[in-house]
Amino acid sequence: MIREPRAKRSSRLSLTQREAIYAYVFLLVPLVFFATIRFYPALQSFRLSLFTWHVDPARRTFVGAQYYQDLLSNPVFHQALTNTLLYAAITVPVSIALGLGIAILLQAVTVGRGWYRAIYFAPYITPAVAIAWVWGWMYNVNFGIFNRIIIEWWDFVEGIGLPWLAIDPQRFLRDPEVALPAVAVVIIWQQLGFQVVIFLAGLQGIPRVFYEAARIDGANPWQLFRHVTIPLLNPVLVFAVVITTINALQLFDQIVNINFTDQGGPLGRTLSIALYMYQEAFSRARLGYAAAVTVVLFLIILVITLVQLRLTQRRVEY
Amino acid sequence: MQRILRTALVLGLLTGLSLSLAQVTLTYWQYDFGTRIDAMNQLIEQFNAENPDVIVVQETFPYDAYEQRVAAATAAGQGPDVVQLFYGWVGSWQRAGYIEPLPQEHIDHAWIEEYFIPMVESVKVGGEYFGLPTAVRSLALFYNKDLFRAAGLDPDAPPQTWDEFVEAAKALTVQRGPLFTQIGYGPGGQDHHLIRTVLMNQLGTPPYSADNREVLYGNEIGAEALRTWTDWQLVDEIGVLEFIPGSGGYRDGFINQENIAMIVDGSFAIGQVRNNAQFDWGVTELPTFDNGVQSNFGSFWMNAVTPRAYRDPAVLEASARFITFVTSEEAMQLWLEVVGELPAARSLVGDPELVSDPVNGPFIAGLAYAEATQFVDEAAQRQVMIDAYNRVLLEGMDPAESIMLEAQADQALLDDFDD
C-alpha cells in the first residue's frame, strides 16, 4: 500500500472542506453583488413604505402601516390588482396552450423549421414600445386594420343584399369591457415565441423510445400526448407557467405604450399593479406609498409562485 | 532649463487648479425637446461667457423618464442644481423635497411680482416662490384653411362662438359608414384644461376656490361644461378621441395627416405646426359661449433650485444668478424665436409687434385673460378629469353625475394634500 503523501502535511481541513471554502470565496463575489444591488434595495423599499417620502431622510415621517391600510381600501389599487390577476388568468393558459400546440406542430415540420422558429420568436425580441405602437394602430377605431376588415365585410354583405350579416365596427382599446382582453392578445402574441422555443427544446429532450414503446402498446396520438409528452414535459411546463405568470404580474411596458394619452385607461381598465406603482412613485412623487405597493406585489408574486411550484412540481413516475 | 520648464508647468497646473476651484459648476436639467435644448444651449453659452466664475452644464432626459431621474438623483444628493419643471408639479415636487424655495436674498419677491405676468403667482406656495419661467403658454384654436375652403367655409372667418365652432366642425367632418375619415375637431391634447379651466370659467365658475382648498365645479355649471364638450362627440359627432393614436395624435392628425381640421393647442405647438404643416393654416382665439365671457388656460415650465443648490452659498448665488439670466427680457426674446413660446415678462406681452402677429397674436390676446389653474397634484387631477369624460363617452353616464364623482375625487386629492 502506498502511503498517502498528502496525509503528512494535512491541514486541519479536509480536501472537501477546502474545496467548499474555495467555492464560497468565489461565490462571494456574485453574492456580495446580489446583496448590495438586489437584497439591500429590496429591504430599503420595505423601509421606505413605512415613511412619507422626502429626499432628505431627516424629513421623512414615520407612518407605520398607514400606506398598507390606504392601499387596501383604495379602489384604484383594487382595480389594478383585479386587472393584473385577469392578465395572468388570460395570458398564462392561452400562451402556454398555443405555444405547446405550435411547438408540437413545428416538430412535425422538417423543411424550414429554423425559419418558422425565427418567425415565431421575432415578436419576443421586438421592443415592447414598437409592438404597442403597431397594435395601437391596428386597434385604432377609424383607421385600424380590424375595423377596416369589418367595414369591407359590411360593404360586401350589403352589396350582395345580406345586410343582416354586417358586423359593427369595434372600439377595442376604447371599450372599457374589451380593452383588457385586447391588451392581453398583444401580450400573448409577443410571448408566444418564447413558449415555442422552450417547448421545442423540451420536446426534443424526450427520448423517441418512449413514443415507440407506447405505439407498440397500441397508444393513439392523444394517449401519446397525454401520457408520454405531458408527464415528460412537466419540468418545462412548470418553468413556463412560473415565468409567464411572473411576467404577467409585472406587466408594464405594453400597457404604458398602447394607450399613451390615458395610461392604464380607459377608466383604469388596463391598469396593472406595476404601472400603478410607477404612477404613484414618479407622476405623483409618492414613493412611500409606491414602495408599499411593491411590497404587496412582491408578496403576491411570492405566494403565487410557491403555490404553483407546490401544485405542479410533483415527481414524475416513469 | 528643464527645471524652469518643470516649475512653469507645476505653477501653470496650480493656477489652473485654483481657478477651477474658484469656479462654480452648475448642473441644469430639462427634458429632451429639440428647440428647448437648442435655446438653452445658446443661453448657457452667453451666460458662461459673461460669468467666468460659473460654468453651467446642461443635461437632458426623455420626457417619460424625467421625473423618475429627478427623484432618483435628488434622493442620492446628485443631479441638477437648477431644474426645469412644469408649474403643475410644484405641489408634489416641493412636498417630496425635489425643489426648494427660490432664495429671497438673491431673488426679490417684489421684483418677481412687478416683472412677471400675474400667472406666475400660481407657483407661490406658503409665501415662497418655487420657480420662474422663461416663457408661458396659452391656448388657441388652430385651423386648416384649405379644409375650410374645401368645405365651403370662409377661411378668414374662423368660429367666434362654440355654436359657430360646432357648425363649422360639422361641415368639416367626413364619415364613411359608421367611421370617420376626417374630423372637424380633434380632441385629446389639452382638453382636460379646456373643460376644467376654459369652459367652466366661461360659464361662470372658477374650478377651485381662491385658496385652492375647495373644488367649486360639483354643480350644474360644471355639468354644463362637461356636457358641452362630450356633446361634441356624442351628439354633434364632430370628432372623436384617439382618432390618431399616440400622445400627440391630435396634433399629428392636424399637421401631418391633414384629416383633423381644428385643434385646441398651446402656443408650444406653433413651432411644430410652422415647420411641418404643408397647407394654409390659421390661429384664432378660443371661441366663447353666447355670453361672450373669455377664458384661457395658461401654463408654463419654470426654473427652480434643488436642495443640491443649497449645499453651498456660492452655488446658491450662482443658481439664482443663472435663473435671473434665463428669465431676462433678452432670454425671453431668444426663447420666443427659437422655441416659439411667449415671453413671461409684463413688459414684453404688450409688444405691438407680437400682438399684431397673426400667429402669436391670438395667444398673446388669450394670455391677457388666461389663468394658470393651481394644482396640488397635476397628474392625479388630470386623471380625474379624463375619467370624468370617459365615463360619459364610454359608459353613457350623465355628465351631471360624472362631474359630481369627479368633484368628490378631486376634493379628496386636495384634502389629502393638506394632511
B129 and B174 inside one domain: no
CA distance B179 to chain A (A): 6
Averaged over A288-293, what is the pLDDT? Answer: 95
Residues B62 and B121 in one domain: yes
- Beta strands at B128-129 and B370-371: parallel, antiparallel or unpaired: unpaired
Whether residue B325 sits in one domain with residue B185 = no
Domain match, B269 and B412 both? yes
The reply to whether residue B96 touches residue A174, judged by beta carbons under 8 angstroms, is: no
Listing DSSP states for A216-241 in one string gives HTT--HHHHIIIIIHHHHHHHHHHHH
Taking CB atoms and an 8 Å limit, are B240 and A176 in contact across chains? no
Position A318 confidence tier, pLDDT thresholds 50, 70, 90? very low
Q: Are B117 and B349 in contact (CB under 8 A)?
A: yes
Same domain, B288 and B330: no
Residue B14 within a domain: no
How far CA A204 is from CA of A3, A60, A104, A318, in Å, comes to: 50, 56, 10, 18
Q: Tell me: the pLDDT tens digits for A7-61?
A: 445 557 888 888 889 888 899 988 899 889 888 988 999 999 999 999 999 999 9
* DSSP per-residue string spanning B286-312: PPB-TT----EE-EEEEEEE-GGGGGS
Give the single-character DSSP code of A38: I
- Are B386 and A285 an interchain contact pair (Cβ–Cβ within 8 Å)? no
pLDDT per residue over A119-148, tens digit each?
Answer: 888 898 999 889 999 999 999 999 999 999
How many Å lie between the alpha carbon of A60 and the closest alpha carbon of chain B?
Answer: 9
Residues B198 and B216 in one domain: yes
B318 plus B213 within the same structural domain: no
Cβ of A267 within 8 Å of Cβ of B394? The answer is yes
| Dist CA A179 CA A182 (whole Å) | 5
Number of Cβ within a 10 Å radius of residue A200: 22
Is residue B65 one of the residues assigned to a domain? yes
B351 or B102, which is more confident: B102
Total structural domains within chain B:
2
Domain boundary among B332, B356, B371: B371
Domain that holds residue B157: 141-297+376-418
- Does B3 map to a domain? no
Let me know if residue B288 belongs to a domain. Answer: yes
Q: Are residues B303 and B291 both part of a single domain?
A: no
> Which residues of chain B are within 8 Å of residue A174 when distances are taken between CB atoms?
241-242, 394
Compare CB distances from B178 to A168, A265, A283 and report the shortest one's residue. Answer: A168
Q: Report the distance separating Cα B325 and Cα B28, nearest Å.
A: 13
Interchain proximity B176–A151, CB inside 8 Å: yes
**Is B129 inside any structural domain?**
yes
Nearest CA in chain B to A176: B394
Top residue of B190, B383, B417 to mutate, by most chain A CBs within 10 Å, is B383
**What are the structural domains of chain A?**
69-312 (1.10.3720.10)
Please tell me which of the candidates B98, B188, B242 has its beta carbon nearest to residue A55: B98
Same domain? For B247 and B331 the reply is no
B86 and B162 fall within a common domain: no
Q: For B364-416, what is each residue's pLDDT tens digit?
A: 999 989 989 989 999 999 999 999 999 999 999 999 999 999 999 999 999 98
Angstroms from A147 CA to nearest CA on chain B: 9
Q: Check whether residue B216 and residue B147 sit in a common domain.
A: yes
Encode pLDDT of B79-134 as tens digits: 999 999 999 999 999 999 999 999 999 999 999 999 999 999 999 998 999 999 99
B/e letters for B20-50, b = 16+ CB within 10 Å, e = fewer, are eeeebebbbbbbebebbbebbeebbebbeee
SS (H, E, C) B324-367: HHHCCHHHHHHHHHHCCCEECEHHHHCCHHHHCCCCHHHHHHHH
How does strand B54-61 pair with strand B124-125? unpaired
* Residue A290 clears pLDDT 50, i.e. is over it: yes
For residue B403, the domain's CATH number is 3.40.190.10
On average, the pLDDT of chain B sits at 92
Same domain, B249 and B185: yes
Contact B284, B362 (CB under 8 A): yes
- Flag the least confident range among A47-51, A66-70, A310-314, B195-199: A310-314
Q: Which of B371, B392, B410 is the last residue of a domain?
A: B371
Contacts of B97 in chain A (CB under 8 A): 54-56, 59
Residue A313 has pLDDT above 70, yes or no: no
Choose, out of B174, B308, B394, B402, the residue to mutate when testing the contact with A (most A CBs < 10 Å).
B394
Per-residue DSSP letter, A176: T
Query: Does B4 reside within a domain?
Result: no
Burial of A211: CB neighbours in 10 Å, binned 0-12, 13-18, 19+: middle
Residues from chain B that touch A155, judged by Cβ atoms under 8 A, are 177
Report the relative pairing of strands B132-137 and B174-176 from DSSP bridges.
unpaired
- Give the separation between CA A120 and CA A197, rounded to whole angstroms: 9
Is the residue at B12 inside a domain?
A: no
CA–CA gap between residue A115 and residue A107 (Å, rounded):
13
CB atoms within 10 A of CB A203: 17
The answer to the question of residue B115 being in a domain is yes
